C-alpha cells in the first residue's frame, strides 16, 4: 500500500512553486518529499518540518537562520540547499535531489563492505564534513541514513538540519539532540558539539561498514548510551578476523572516548585515512568480508531524537526549573552491577540511612511548601493572539509588562513569537511578562531597476533588503548592452525580505557576424570592427586549406547573431600541411591514382594523343620524394 496517498501534502503546490509528488522519508524532525520546481522545471527534494516543531517560533527562526548558513556551504559532497520558505503552517527547505540510495540501504542489503568500498565512501564524507568544519559548522547527526549514494556513484552528506556553529553547547534544558548509536560521550554528558563529535560518529560508521554491525548493542537506548560512556569501541578485526591493523587504528583514533585524543576535525581524520590507504596492499583493500557477520538491523535507535543528558545527581535547589528536575530524575543511566561478594550494609545501618533520608526529604518538602506559594510558571503563550496571551497570564496571576513587535516569516501576524521570561519559566506570583507579537513577514517592494547597469541594480536590490537572483541576457534594440531590461517579479511587487529577484539584462542590438575566413588578418579585423564587434587573435595558428596569414577559423562563425561589442576570436592559418609526394612513375594508372589519393592529393590525368590507350605513368608534375600542400593536385602523364 502506498502510504504517500494518505499524506495531505502530496499533490499540493507549496509557495506557488513546488509541486509535491511523493513522500521519500520521514525523520524525527521533518518529512522529505520528491517535488518539482515548476519555475525552473527541475526535480528536487523538499524537506518539510513537522507541524509540532513548526509551531515553535524560536525553533523555526533558528532553523531558518542555520539553513541559510548551510546554503552557503558549496561542496560537491554536500547536498545543496536551494531555497527556504513557509506556506501556511508548512516550513520547508528546497534541496538537491539525489537519485540513488543511502548507506543504510547498502548495509542493510549487503552487510559488511570490502575495505576499499568502505574507504571510497568514507573519504568523500570526510571531505564534506571537513569543508563544514573549516567553515565553522558541525553536523552533529552523522549516520548511514545521512550518507546518500547516487546512481552515478557520487557520495553526498545530507541533513544538516541539526547543524550548529562550532562553539555552540546545547545546555538549556539538559537535552541532547542526535542518534543514540553515533553519539560521542561528551554529547551525552555535557551536550558539547564541536567537530570531534562528527569524527566520533564517522569512526562508528567506519566500524559498521567494515563489520556489518554497530559496535554497541542493547535492548534500550540507555544500554547503548552506557556503553558509549564506559566502553571503548572494539577493534573491527575482532569481528572480522584478518582485517588489516590499519583499520583498527583508524577506528580507535576516531572513537577515542576522550575527545582530546581524537583528530581535531574531519580534515585531520581524512589525512589519516589517506595515509592508511597508501599503506595497504590491493589484496588487503579487496578482502571479501564474511557476510555471515551481517546482522539483522534494528532501526529503533537510528532515528534522530531528543535524549535527556546524563547529569550528576545533586540535591534540587529551590531555584531549579521543573523541567531540569524532570531530566535529572528520569535520566537514562544504567548503574554498574554490584561486584560479587560485596558485603551488604547491616540492617541497623540501613535503618539509620532510611531515617536520615526521611529527615532530608522532610526538610526539602518543608522548604518546597514554604516557597511554593510564592512562585508560579509562565503559561504556554506561543502562537496565541495577544488577547489570548493576556487572558492566560491573568489566570496565572501574572501581568503584561510590555508588548513588543517583530517581523516573522513563520509566525502568523498578531500572534506571540516569544515571551520573557519564556514559557515554563519559574516566576514569582504577581510578576510581569514581556510579550513579542508577530507583525507577519517583512515585505519589501521590488524597486524599478530598468536602465541601471547590472552591478548598480544588484547593489540597489541589496539596499532594499532583497537578493539578486538569476541573470538572463537578451537582445534589445532600445536598452544598451549591460543594462537591466526588467525584473521577475516586476517592479512594485511585494516580496518577503531576502527574496531573490531575477534580472533580465540587455545584450545590446543583435549584430550578424560577417564571415571573414580566407581573408587576411588586417582585412578581417577591419570588417569586424566596422560591424561594431571586437576582435581577438588566438594564441596558436593552425594548418588549413588557406594560405599562411589568412583567417582559418572564427568563433562565433559567420552568420551568427551576437550583441554589439561582443568579441569574435580569429585563428590564423599557417598554411596548408606539406606532405611528401609518393613516386608513382612506372605504376599502373589506377594504382598510381589510389596511392596519391591515399596520401591526401587530388589527381589529374594528362594522356595527350599518345596516351589515349596507355596505362602506365611516365611522368608526374611533382617528383616523388618532394613535398606539396596536402589537398593540392598532382598531374600524372600517361603513355
111 plus 167 within the same structural domain: yes
Please tell me what DSSP assigns to residue 623: -
At residue 302, the pLDDT reads 53
Cell 538549556 sits at which residue?
172
Q: Is residue 319 part of a domain?
A: no
3-state secondary structure of 335: coil
Say whether pLDDT at 248 is over 70. yes
pLDDT in tens, 432-442: 999 999 887 77
Q: Is residue 179 part of a domain?
A: yes
pLDDT band of residue 611 (cuts 50, 70, 90) is low
Average pLDDT over residues 557-576: 90
Q: What is the longest distance spanned by two Cα atoms in the chain?
A: 143
558 plus 613 within the same structural domain: no
CA-closest candidate to residue 72, choices 80, 62, 60, 63: 80
At residue 8, the pLDDT reads 83
- Compute the distance between CA of residue 323 and CA of residue 10 in angstroms, rounded to an integer: 37
Output b/e per residue, 85-96; b: 16+ Cβ within 10 A. Answer: bbbeebbbbbbb
Question: In which order are the strands placed within the sheet that holds 416-420?
Answer: 399-406, 432-438, 416-420
pLDDT band of residue 317 (cuts 50, 70, 90) is very low
Q: Is residue 219 part of a domain?
A: yes
3-state secondary structure of 107: helix
Alpha carbon 594 to chain centroid, angstroms:
61
Q: Is 141 a catalytic residue?
A: yes
- Compute the distance between CA of residue 617 and CA of residue 345 in angstroms, rounded to an integer: 124
At residue 51, the pLDDT reads 79
Say whether pLDDT at 323 is over 70. no
At residue 524, the pLDDT reads 95
pLDDT band of residue 70 (cuts 50, 70, 90) is confident
pLDDT in tens, 514-566: 999 999 999 999 999 999 899 999 988 988 889 899 999 998 999 998 888 88
- Whether the CB-CB separation of 376 and 430 falls below 8 Å is answered with no
- Mean of the per-residue pLDDT values of the chain: 80
- Compute the distance between CA of residue 490 and CA of residue 503 in angstroms, rounded to an integer: 10
- CATH number for the domain harbouring residue 602: 3.30.10.20
44 plus 171 within the same structural domain: no
At residue 409, the pLDDT reads 66
CA-closest candidate to residue 182, choices 203, 166, 164: 203
Q: Is residue 326 part of a domain?
A: no
Q: Is residue 538 part of a domain?
A: yes
Of 28-32, 240-244, 527-531, minimum mean pLDDT range: 28-32
Q: Is residue 318 part of a domain?
A: no
Q: Supply the range of the domain harboring residue 161.
A: 101-310
Average pLDDT over residues 125-135: 91
Say whether pLDDT at 93 is over 60. yes
Residue 478 vs residues 295, 472, 562: alpha-carbon distances, Å: 71, 17, 16
Average pLDDT over residues 600-606: 92
At residue 53, the pLDDT reads 79
Residue 96: which H helix or E strand, with range? Answer: strand 90-96
Q: What ranges in 234-321 are assigned the alpha helix state H?
A: 245-254, 266-279, 282-285
- Compute the distance between CA of residue 564 and CA of residue 396 in angstroms, rounded to an integer: 73
- Whether the CB-CB separation of 20 and 11 falls below 8 Å is answered with yes
Dihedral angle over CA of 382, 385, 387, 390, nearest 10: 10
Q: Which of 65, 97, 129 is the last residue of a domain?
A: 97
455 plus 410 within the same structural domain: no
The residue from 56, 83, 141, 194 that is catalytic is: 141
Say whether pLDDT at 199 is over 80. yes
- SS (HEC) of 464-531: CCCEEEEEEEECCCCCCCCEEEEEECCCCCEEECCCEEEEEEECCCEEECCCCCCCEHHHHHHHHHHC
- Compute the distance between CA of residue 217 and CA of residue 181 in angstroms, rounded to an integer: 8
Please state the pTM of the whole predicted model. Answer: 0.48
Q: Which of 67, 97, 127 is the last residue of a domain?
A: 97
Average pLDDT over residues 571-592: 92
- Whether the CB-CB separation of 136 and 326 falls below 8 Å is answered with no
Q: Is residue 365 part of a domain?
A: no
CA-closest candidate to residue 471, choices 499, 506, 430: 506
CA-closest candidate to residue 168, choices 200, 194, 189: 194
Cell 576582435 sits at which residue?
535
119 plus 255 within the same structural domain: yes
Average pLDDT over residues 308-312: 40
Q: What is the DSSP string of 112-165?
A: SPPHHHHHHHHHHHHHHHHHHHHTTEE----SGGGEEEETTS-EEE--GGG-EE
At residue 369, the pLDDT reads 38
Alpha carbon 370 to chain centroid, angstroms:
55
**Which cell is 46 given?**
523538499
259 plus 299 within the same structural domain: yes
278 plus 140 within the same structural domain: yes
**Which cell is 170 given?**
546545547
CA-closest candidate to residue 31, choices 86, 108, 90, 84: 90
460 plus 422 within the same structural domain: no
Q: Which of 407, 438, 469 is the last residue of a domain?
A: 438
E-state strands within 525-616: 534-537, 551-555, 561-563, 567-572, 578-580, 602-606
CB-based contacts of 609, cutoff 8 Å, min separation 6? none
At residue 36, the pLDDT reads 92
At residue 287, the pLDDT reads 85
500 plus 588 within the same structural domain: no
pLDDT band of residue 69 (cuts 50, 70, 90) is low
Residues forming beta bridges with residue 629, ordered by sequence position: 578
pLDDT band of residue 66 (cuts 50, 70, 90) is low
- CATH number for the domain harbouring residue 256: 1.10.510.10
At residue 417, the pLDDT reads 86
At residue 313, the pLDDT reads 32
At residue 104, the pLDDT reads 92
Half-sphere exposure for 226 (CA within 13 Å, toward CB): 14
At residue 328, the pLDDT reads 27
At residue 80, the pLDDT reads 87
Q: Is residue 323 part of a domain?
A: no
Phi, psi of 92 (to 5 degrees): -135, 160
Domain count, the chain: 6
Say whether pLDDT at 450 is over 90. yes
178 plus 113 within the same structural domain: yes
13 plus 87 within the same structural domain: yes
- CATH number for the domain harbouring residue 28: 3.30.200.20
Percent of the chain with pLDDT over 70: 81
- Whether the CB-CB separation of 265 and 196 falls below 8 Å is answered with yes
- Compute the distance between CA of residue 181 and CA of residue 163 in angstroms, rounded to an integer: 18
Say whether pLDDT at 321 is over 60. no
Say whether pLDDT at 164 is over 70. no
Pairing of strands 494-496, 602-606: unpaired
pLDDT in tens, 359-385: 444 444 444 433 444 788 899 898 889
51 plus 167 within the same structural domain: no
Say whether pLDDT at 424 is over 90. no
At residue 56, the pLDDT reads 74
Say whether pLDDT at 234 is over 70. yes
Amino acid at each position: 500500500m502506498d502510504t504517500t496517498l494518505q499524506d495531505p501534502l502530496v499533490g499540493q503546490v507549496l509557495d506557488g512553486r513546488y509541486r509535491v509528488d511523493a513522500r521519500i522519508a520521514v525523520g524525527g524532525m521533518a518529512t522529505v518529499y520528491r517535488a518539482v520546481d515548476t519555475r525552473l522545471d527541475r526535480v528536487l527534494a523538499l524537506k518539510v518540518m513537522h507541524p509540532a516543531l513548526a509551531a515553535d517560533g524560536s525553533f523555526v527562526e533558528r532553523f531558518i537562520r542555520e539553513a541559510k548558513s548551510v546554503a552557503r556551504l558549496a561542496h560537491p559532497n554536500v547536498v545543496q540547499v536551494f531555497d527556504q520558505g513557509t506556506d501556511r503552517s508548512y516550513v520547508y527547505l528546497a534541496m538537491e535531489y539525489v537519485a540513488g540510495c543511502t548507506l543504510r540501504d547498502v548495509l542493510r542489503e549487503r552487510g559488511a563492505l570490502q575495505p576499499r568500498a568502505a574507504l571510497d565512501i568514507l573519504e568523500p564524507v570526510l571531505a564534506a564534513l571537513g569543508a563544514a568544519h573549516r567553515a565553522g559548522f558541525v553536523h552533529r547527526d552523522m549516520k548511514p541514513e545521512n550518507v546518500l549514494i547516487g546512481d552515478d556513484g557520487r557520495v553526498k552528506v545530507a541533513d544538516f538540519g541539526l547543524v550548529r556553529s562550532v562553539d555552540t553547547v546545547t545546555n538549556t534544558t539538559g537535552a541532547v539532540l542526535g542518534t543514540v548509536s553515533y553519539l560521542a560521550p561528551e554529547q551525552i554528558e555535557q551536550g558539547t558539539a564541536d567537530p570531534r563529535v562528527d569524527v566520533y560518529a564517522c569512526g562508528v560508521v567506519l566500524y559498521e561498514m567494515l563489520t556489518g554491525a554497530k559496535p554497541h548493542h542493547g535492548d534500550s537506548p540507555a544500554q547503548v548510551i552506557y556503553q558509549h560512556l564506559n566502553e571503548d569501541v572494539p577493534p573491527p578485526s575482532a569481528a572480522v578476523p584478518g582485517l588489516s591493523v590499519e583499520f583498527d587504528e583508524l577506528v580507535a583514533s576516531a572513537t577515542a572516548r576522550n575527545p582530546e585524543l581524537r583528530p581535531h576535525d574531519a580534515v585531520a581524520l581524512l589525512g589519516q585515512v589517506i595515509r592508511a590507504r597508501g599503506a595497504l596492499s590491493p589484496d588487503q583493500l579487496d578482502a571479501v568480508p564474511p557476510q555471515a557477520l551481517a546482522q539483522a538491523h534494528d532501526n529503533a535507535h537510528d532515528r534522530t531524537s531528543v535524549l535527556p543528558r546524563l547529569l550528576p545527581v545533586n540535591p534540587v535547589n529551590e531555584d531549579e526549573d521543573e523541567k531540569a528536575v524532570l531530566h535529572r530524575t528520569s535520566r537514562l543511566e544504567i548503574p554498574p552491577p554490584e561486584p560479587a561478594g560485596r558485603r551488604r550494609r547491616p540492617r541497623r545501618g540501613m535503618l539509620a540511612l532510611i531515617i536520615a533520608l526521611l529527615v532530608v526529604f522532610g526538610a526539602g518538602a518543608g522548604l518546597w511548601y514554604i516557597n511554593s506559594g510564592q512562585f508560579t510558571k509562565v503559561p504556554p503563550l506561543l502562537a496565541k493572539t495577544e488577547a489570548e496571551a493576556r487572558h492566560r497570564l491573568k489566570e496565572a496571576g501574572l501581568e503584561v509588562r510590555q508588548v513588543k513587535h517583530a517581523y516573522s516569516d513563520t509566525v502568523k501576524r498578531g500572534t506571540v513569537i516569544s515571551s520573557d521570561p519564556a514559557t515554563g519559566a519559574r516566576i514569582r506570583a504577581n510578576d510581569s511578562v514581556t510579550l513579542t507579537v508577530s507583525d507577519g513577514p517583512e515585505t519589501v517592494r521590488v524597486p524599478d531597476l530598468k536602465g541601471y547597469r547590472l552591478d548598480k541594480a544588484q547593489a540597489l536590490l541589496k539596499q532594499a533588503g532583497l537578493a539578486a537572483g538569476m541573470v538572463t541576457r537578451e537582445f534589445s534594440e532600445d536598452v544598451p548592452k549591460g543594462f537591466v531590461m526588467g525584473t521577475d517579479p516586476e517592479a512594485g511587487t511585494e516580496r518577503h525580505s531576502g527574496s531573490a529577484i531575477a534580472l533580465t539584462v540587455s545584450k545590446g542590438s543583435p549584430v550578424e557576424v560577417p564571415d571573414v575566413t580566407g581573408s587576411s588578418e588586417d582585412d578581417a579585423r577591419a570588417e569586424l570592427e566596422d560591424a561594431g564587434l571586437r576582435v581577438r587573435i588566438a594564441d596558436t595558428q593552425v594548418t588549413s586549406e588557406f594560405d599562411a596569414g589568412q583567417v582559418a577559423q572564427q568563433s562565433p562563425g559567420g552568420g551568427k547573431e551576437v550583441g554589439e561589442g561582443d568579441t569574435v576570436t580569429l585563428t590564423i592559418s599557417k598554411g596548408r600541411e606539406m606532405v611528401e609526394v609518393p613516386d608513382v612513375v612506372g605504376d599502373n594508372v589506377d594504382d598510381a591514382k589510389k596511392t596519391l589519393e591515399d596520401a591526401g592529393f587530388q589527381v589529374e590525368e594528362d594522356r595527350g594523343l599518345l596516351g589515349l590507350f596507355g596505362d602506365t605513368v611516365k611522368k608526374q608534375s611533382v617528383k616523388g620524394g618532394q613535398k606539396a600542400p596536402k589537398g593540392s593536385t598532382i598531374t600524372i602523364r600517361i603513355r
